[in-house]
Amino acid sequence: MLLHNDRLFPAEPKVRSIARSLYERVRGLPIVSPHGHTQAAWFATNDAFPDPAMLFVQPDHYVYRMLYSQGVSLDDLEIGQAVMKDPRKVWRIFASHYHLFRGTPTRMWLDFAFQELFGLEERLSEKTADAYYDTIAAKLLTPEFRPRALYTRFNIEVLATTDSPLDTLEHHAAIRSSEWKGRIVPAFRPDSVVDPEFAGFADNIAKLGAQTGEDTATWDGYLKALRKARARFKALGCTSTDHGHPTAQTADLSKAEAAKLFEKVCTGKASAAEPELFRAQMLTELAQMSLEDGLVMQIHPGSVRNHNRRVFERYGRDTGADIPRATNYVDALRPLLDRFGNESTLTIILFTLDETTYSRELAPLAGHYPCLRLGPAWWFHDSPEGMMRFREQVTETAGFYNTVGFNDDTRAFLSIPARHDVARRIDCAFLARLVAEQRLEEDEAHEVAHELTYGLVKKAYRL
Amino acid sequence: MLLHNDRLFPAEPKVRSIARSLYERVRGLPIVSPHGHTQAAWFATNDAFPDPAMLFVQPDHYVYRMLYSQGVSLDDLEIGQAVMKDPRKVWRIFASHYHLFRGTPTRMWLDFAFQELFGLEERLSEKTADAYYDTIAAKLLTPEFRPRALYTRFNIEVLATTDSPLDTLEHHAAIRSSEWKGRIVPAFRPDSVVDPEFAGFADNIAKLGAQTGEDTATWDGYLKALRKARARFKALGCTSTDHGHPTAQTADLSKAEAAKLFEKVCTGKASAAEPELFRAQMLTELAQMSLEDGLVMQIHPGSVRNHNRRVFERYGRDTGADIPRATNYVDALRPLLDRFGNESTLTIILFTLDETTYSRELAPLAGHYPCLRLGPAWWFHDSPEGMMRFREQVTETAGFYNTVGFNDDTRAFLSIPARHDVARRIDCAFLARLVAEQRLEEDEAHEVAHELTYGLVKKAYRL
Amino acid sequence: MLLHNDRLFPAEPKVRSIARSLYERVRGLPIVSPHGHTQAAWFATNDAFPDPAMLFVQPDHYVYRMLYSQGVSLDDLEIGQAVMKDPRKVWRIFASHYHLFRGTPTRMWLDFAFQELFGLEERLSEKTADAYYDTIAAKLLTPEFRPRALYTRFNIEVLATTDSPLDTLEHHAAIRSSEWKGRIVPAFRPDSVVDPEFAGFADNIAKLGAQTGEDTATWDGYLKALRKARARFKALGCTSTDHGHPTAQTADLSKAEAAKLFEKVCTGKASAAEPELFRAQMLTELAQMSLEDGLVMQIHPGSVRNHNRRVFERYGRDTGADIPRATNYVDALRPLLDRFGNESTLTIILFTLDETTYSRELAPLAGHYPCLRLGPAWWFHDSPEGMMRFREQVTETAGFYNTVGFNDDTRAFLSIPARHDVARRIDCAFLARLVAEQRLEEDEAHEVAHELTYGLVKKAYRL
């Protein structure tokens, strides 16, 4: 067996037994997935997933990042190829390097999918590579492995994708008008039209104008267009927006200043610092819109995107070369909080790649401002140790109720149950320690475990 | 029961048993409280504390911060009201939100007071709110709950308040001239007269001059006035000073430069950066004074005060909207250390809200400079996890003997025994792990536990 | 007994038993020491070590740093004296302050040497000081305590020293031409000729020219001289270089810019910022050389050297007053990585004194770039808690295979077995927890333990 029933629970028998008992009552709860990067098209068309390599290796930057770090060529992995020439060869490379993932969450997510979905019980290795490939490939052709069937099997209650304002959302519309009852909702991620350094920014603004019938050459028209785009998302079930900026900087310019800045960033006249100022101003503008239309804001700052220039130039965005940077919140958020911080009908969910801010900035901020909540441990920190550090470092100041449950945040649909399972286990492990150390009563721990798994995410994301 | 005898001890039976044995020998030691924010007036007048809401909710920013973060209005809590209109209503709001404190130290401190002082054993909730209110209100009227009686009951040996140089210290004088034998001492906190950005700075300087009979319009007169004010504090038992600056920056200007800067900050001619430079220079000047008069310096840097502009404007200072910021010590302290770092008769106790500095800067500094000691985990980090991180991150480089025991640092008098109890338990838990992992012998752990509880604080603060 | 067989293993019986079993299979593996500060002369001359105080107190800044922090004078410890006047008195001071080391790794290293090498079993204290002194002094005179005999007894397979390009390496040459079979290799540490702020920089450059027969007054000649110096090191077994810069900054100037900058820093015409730019450029130049000659690069950034001005002026470099500073890698390394990051034949081993970068920058970087590996927990963090944080914070993103085993990094030859033993125990403790929490299979943990102890260091350092 690849998985043990008690995995991730502390070894001490008393704590383990409490963890097990807490987990038993949340393990079967539906999955609420308010933020991720799956594709609505999968559920609209319900086509079979392709071969094992296209499913497990190509889209998963956690996987090929590690392989690349140890000298495996991205070409040999056929990264970026729309159709793989030799997926079995890619799979064999992956299998023969599987030991690299020891001690990583990727290993745990993969083993979960291998065992729970495909019934595989012998460890993946060079030796078992072909047997794995054949088993998985065969199952992927069966109806039980179509996206909609898996959605049901995974016990998903709602699944949010992440979409550009320029997206037609045709797949979301198709799903809603279909007879299928799965709840797939878009999230509004406007980076392409609010970040002047996004490739094609000026064109994107123009497209936004064309799409909404607004004159996006003007500041007023641009804001109206964003409002219309948001309304279009909302009509398809969207409840949240998402903002992936290099920093958490916000600004609160006068209308005249903002309009002037907008003109500069659209016409290539901006100074080196002004794109950042524009993004900063836009967070505040978007908070204003959220106050109006009720969409929950998510801020995901602090990633240096495309750090590896050569890999970026050859393989494009999101190919595994983003690296976190130290991130300030206490000063950066102040302009926005000065305006909206005390609005209790506004919800802004903060994420970080800089764990030093958990206890120093984020928990004190979320433990005071009514509009702020803390998103779960993100990306590199979405791991057993990372999740545990999150709880240990934020709970004492922000409590449990200023957090928002779990995000799987994944492109890898098949890893969703595994990721939620890890989060549930770690939360139960943390709570079990509190109970065992007489810092929390067991009945309260059960209530909290339910909230961390199901209640808080529904409430925070208004789902 | 709200409290378990073994709370906060590790669950593993062997470690727990060692922790229990260590704790048994320090639990009864007197409380030495060298830094906090209680009021000398309480002990001078010995009046009864008012109702439960005025006692537990209004002065405790840990409490109303959390309530506010979840949408409870500060007006509904009657924050900032000298007399509450409806304290029972405030109490009910608090009680019905008591679940928010799960997993926080606030919960532990409150439960301790509820059970140990008021004999309450059923959990606070909406349902028990009124019974709590009535029980507490009734006991507060009894002689056993007067401040002096509680001081004795809490087994306090000495308790320091924190006071402005402009304070008359009349209550301290009254206590000393009374027949009561409690030892309440002031600490010299000169922010109001050394921080040019403190409200009313210029007026404060003038008042200091009037009070001391020195010409504080001149640099020399100002320094003399500070020396006189310190002497006045010392005469009332003061052994320490305290400095709450935005950063740990120090400076070492020539006398002429310092005099010129003083003139600028007093006359409104300072540039944007000069108030910080003045504060920096003053830390060095105050270290010089400490070298002369033996007062121990405490530096509490790194808090962005009054972060929430609207709450500050409406409710004033210290209403729960201070947020930490990343803090540098290695460069910031260098000017001061260049002058006084090697003085072994000087003691400077460093605190931080930026835990990243524990292992990176503070422990290496305190593990070398004879004048430096490390204050305990502070404010947001004065919690079980926070205290444990402090020990885990500083001990290996700075040892135990460069730390100074525990500070309760509280405005909430009734939380003092609970806070010291948590600190004693966590220190014993840490030591127990070292013993169980054969990293320290048990006889040594007993000695260290005694030092951490009693010996080091007396020595470091010269009490 | 000073040492317990199970020291450093978690107390929980199941985890402890796994840790013990893992450790049993690695405890006897040879010591591979790829980075440290022992002296080749010891092994070339094989003279007896001097008295206990010269052996244990004087060279060990961990030891006298702590004593100094608690008011012991460096003069009383005879720090910096070539011959001690009263080593027994120094030893007695040390012994009577031995309690200061409780909870520190220094205590553990010392106890290991006392018991394992000298057979001492009663704790060092004022009372046992003389017995210790006499026992150690007597044994040091025996053949079994000569450097070469200890090298064999410690089961060292290879030991690297750290050397200046200006060093004659005569002792290394003498060892190689001797009949002794110990493998002592130099490492190329060019700070003195690449850091314009190093004392005597211009003279050093001139000496380098004289030594290599190149015209180091020119950029081309300087680079050629460095290449020749590297070749000379390589001929004596060197496999690595080492770079101790204040930051991790790299640069990638054009040849013309670099040549001009070189001229400025050599002729005293550099601006305040240019020494840093020169060091930055040199890291990239040295990476180019490593790509050519295969020497592995180590970067040890982030230490503020000689922080205590007075101690530095009186006692010189490396007398215990270096303090870490926050260190950025994500931006700093980018120029170098832009050129060489994707070279899988290049190996750059990154170290840090800023633990916040483990999960935020270093693990993501090493988990992607083929040329990067992570050095073990360094200096202040080379301790049980520090090593555990390293594993907990880097493994989930970088895995085990992007790390490089252990460095003892010590001047204290007698502490080498103790330090390696601590590392082996902590790695086994970490792995044991993963196994006990069903995050790793036991057979895999055995393989990983072997790699962390022996396999990875040999491969990464090409030894």
Question: Band of the pLDDT at B316, cuts 50, 70, 90?
Answer: confident
A102:C399 CB<8 A: yes
Which of C68, C104, C324 is facing B396, going by the closest CB pair? C104
DSSP state of A49: P
Q: What is the DSSP string of C357-404?
A: HIIIIIHHHHTT-TTEEEPPP-GGG-SHHHHHHHHHHHHHHHTTTTB-
Contact B50, B133 (CB under 8 A): no
Which of B356, B399, B436 is facing C104, going by the closest CB pair? B399
Which of B369, B392, B398 is facing C308, going by the closest CB pair? B369
Kindly report the backbone phi and psi dihedral angles of residue B420, in degrees, each rounded to the nearest multiple of 5, phi listed first. Answer: -65, -35
Contact B363, C380 (CB under 8 A): yes
Which of C3, C69, C102 is facing B369, going by the closest CB pair? C69
C399:A100 CB<8 A: yes
Residue ranges matching CATH 3.20.20.140 in chain A: 146-460
Q: Among all residues of chain B, which has the CA nearest to that of A364?
A: B323
pLDDT at residue C239 is higher than 80: yes
Chain A neighbors of C365, CB-CB under 8 A? 323
> Which of B330, B340, B372, B439 is the best residue to mutate to test the C interface, defined by the most C CB atoms within 10 Å of its own CB?
B439
B69:A436 CB<8 A: no
Among A325-329, B192-196, B313-317, C247-251, the minimum mean pLDDT is found in B313-317
pLDDT at residue C318 is higher than 80: no
Chain C neighbors of B365, CB-CB under 8 A? 307, 323
What pLDDT is stored for residue B217 in this prediction? 97
What pLDDT is stored for residue A456 in this prediction? 98
Helix axes C61-69, C87-96, angle to 10 degrees: 60
| Whole-angstrom distance, CA of residue A413 vs CA of residue A151 | 9
Chain C neighbors of A308, CB-CB under 8 A? 337, 341-342, 368-369
Beta strands in C105-239 (DSSP E): 156-160, 184-185
pLDDT at residue A318 is higher than 80: no
Chain A neighbors of C369, CB-CB under 8 A? 69, 308
Q: Output the CA–CA distances (angstroms, integers) from residue C23 to A100, B51, B213, C28, C262, in the order listed.
A: 21, 61, 72, 9, 51
Chain B neighbors of A450, CB-CB under 8 A? none
| Buried-state track C163-187, b at ≥16 Cβ within 10 A, e below 16 | bbbbbebebbeebbeeebebbbbbb
Chain A neighbors of B8, CB-CB under 8 A? 437-439
Question: Band of the pLDDT at A317, cuts 50, 70, 90?
Answer: confident
A99:C401 CB<8 A: yes
Closest CA to B422 of B145, B148, B106: B106
CA distance A92 to chain C (A): 19
C12:A11 CB<8 A: yes
Residue ranges matching CATH 1.10.2020.10 in chain B: 50-145
Which of C323, C381, C385 is facing B330, going by the closest CB pair? C323
Which of A12, A356, A364 is facing B12, going by the closest CB pair? A12
Which of A11, A320, A354 is facing C437, going by the closest CB pair? A11
CA distance B37 to chain C (A): 30
Indicate the SS3 state at residue C214.
coil
Which of B7, B353, B381 is facing A437, going by the closest CB pair? B7
DSSP state of B188: B
Contact B243, B300 (CB under 8 A): yes
B437:C7 CB<8 A: yes
Q: What is the third-level CATH fold of C145-460?
A: TIM Barrel (3.20.20)
The residue whose two tokens read 């392709």 is A50
C344:A71 CB<8 A: yes
DSSP state of A163: B
The average confidence (pLDDT) of chain C is 97
A103:C395 CB<8 A: yes
Kindly report the backbone phi and psi dihedral angles of residue B185, in degrees, each rounded to the nearest multiple of 5, phi listed first. Answer: -125, 150
B366:C104 CB<8 A: no
The residue whose two tokens read 């006499």 is C134
> Which of C368, C389, C403, C456 is the best residue to mutate to test the A interface, defined by the most A CB atoms within 10 Å of its own CB?
C368
pLDDT digits (tens, 9 = 90+) for B236-281: 999 999 999 999 999 999 999 999 999 999 999 999 999 999 999 9
Class of domain B50-145: mainly alpha
Chain A neighbors of B325, CB-CB under 8 A? 328, 330-331, 360-361
pLDDT digits (tens, 9 = 90+) for C27-71: 999 999 999 999 999 999 999 999 999 999 988 999 999 999 999
| Whole-angstrom distance, CA of residue A462 vs CA of residue A347 | 10
CA distance C53 to chain B (A): 20
CA distance A16 to chain C (A): 10
> Which of C343, C362, C404, C438 is the best residue to mutate to test the A interface, defined by the most A CB atoms within 10 Å of its own CB?
C438
pLDDT digits (tens, 9 = 90+) for B323-377: 999 999 999 999 999 999 999 999 999 999 999 999 999 999 999 999 999 999 9
Q: Give CA angle at C22 (C20, C28), nearest 5°.
A: 95
A359:B355 CB<8 A: yes
C307:B393 CB<8 A: no
A380:C364 CB<8 A: yes
The average confidence (pLDDT) of chain A is 97
Chain B neighbors of C326, CB-CB under 8 A? 326, 328, 356, 360
Stated as kind and residue range, the H or E segment containing B241 is: strand B240-243
Using CB atoms, list chains with 3+ pairs below 8 Å to chain B. A, C
The residue whose two tokens read 């980090």 is B381
| Whole-angstrom distance, CA of residue B305 vs CA of residue B283 | 19
For chains A and C, count residue pairs whose Cβ atoms are closer than 8 Å. 126
pLDDT at residue A277 is higher than 90: yes
CA distance C341 to chain B (A): 28
| Whole-angstrom distance, CA of residue C41 vs CA of residue B181 | 68
Residue ranges matching CATH 3.20.20.140 in chain B: 147-460
Which of C341, C393, C399 is facing A66, going by the closest CB pair? C399
Contact C333, C310 (CB under 8 A): no
Task: Name the amino acid, one letter, at B278.
Answer: F
CA distance C421 to chain B (A): 14
Chain C neighbors of B433, CB-CB under 8 A? 11
| Whole-angstrom distance, CA of residue A427 vs CA of residue A437 | 15
Helix axes C13-24, C416-436, angle to 10 degrees: 130
For chains B and C, count residue pairs whose Cβ atoms are closer than 8 Å. 127
Closest CA to A301 of A269, A331, A340: A331
Structure ipTM over 0.95, yes or no: yes
Number of C-beta neighbours around residue A345 at 10 A:
11
CA dihedral C36, C38, C39, C44 (to 10 degrees): -100
Q: What is the third-level CATH fold of A48-144?
A: uronate isomerase, domain 2, chain A (1.10.2020)
Would you state the structure tokens that stand for residue A439, as one six-digit string? 């810092």
**B397-404: average pLDDT:** 98
Q: Among all residues of chain C, which has the CA nearest to that of A66?
A: C367
What pLDDT is stored for residue B139 in this prediction? 98
pLDDT digits (tens, 9 = 90+) for A14-63: 999 999 999 999 999 999 999 999 999 999 999 999 999 999 998 899 99
Which of B331, B368, B444 is facing C69, going by the closest CB pair? B368
| Whole-angstrom distance, CA of residue A328 vs CA of residue B326 | 8
Chain C neighbors of A123, CB-CB under 8 A? 441
Would you state the structure tokens that stand for residue B145, as one six-digit string? 């709950």
| Whole-angstrom distance, CA of residue B222 vs CA of residue B228 | 10
Instruction: Kindly report the CATH number that applies to the domain delimited by A146-460.
Output: 3.20.20.140
Q: Give the homologous superfamily in CATH for domain B147-460.
A: Metal-dependent hydrolases (3.20.20.140)
Contact A236, A172 (CB under 8 A): yes
What pLDDT is stored for residue A236 in this prediction? 98
B447:C380 CB<8 A: no
Residue ranges matching CATH 3.20.20.140 in chain C: 145-460
How many angstroms separate the first and last alpha carbons of chain A? 36
The average confidence (pLDDT) of chain B is 97
Indicate the SS3 state at residue A241.
strand
Among B195-199, B317-321, B382-386, the minimum mean pLDDT is found in B317-321
B341:C380 CB<8 A: no
| Alpha carbon of residue B55 to chain centroid | 18
Residue ranges matching CATH 1.10.2020.10 in chain C: 50-142
Q: Output the CA–CA distances (angstroms, integers) from residue B254 to B205, B281, B335, B364, in the order listed.
A: 22, 10, 12, 29
Q: Considering the entire predicted model, what is its pTM?
A: 0.98
> Which of C327, C342, C349, C396 is the best residue to mutate to test the A interface, defined by the most A CB atoms within 10 Å of its own CB?
C396
Residue ranges matching CATH 1.10.2020.10 in chain A: 48-144
The residue whose two tokens read 């308010």 is A34
Which of A3, A310, A386 is facing C342, going by the closest CB pair? A310
CA distance A266 to chain C (A): 27
Phi-psi region of A103 (alpha: psi -120 to 50; beta: other; left: phi over 0): left
Q: How many residues does chain A have?
A: 463
Closest CA to B22 of B457, B454, B445: B445
Instruction: Kindly report the CATH number that applies to the domain delimited by C50-142.
Output: 1.10.2020.10
Contact A150, A414 (CB under 8 A): yes
Question: Band of the pLDDT at B59, cuts 50, 70, 90?
Answer: confident
pLDDT at residue C316 is higher than 90: no
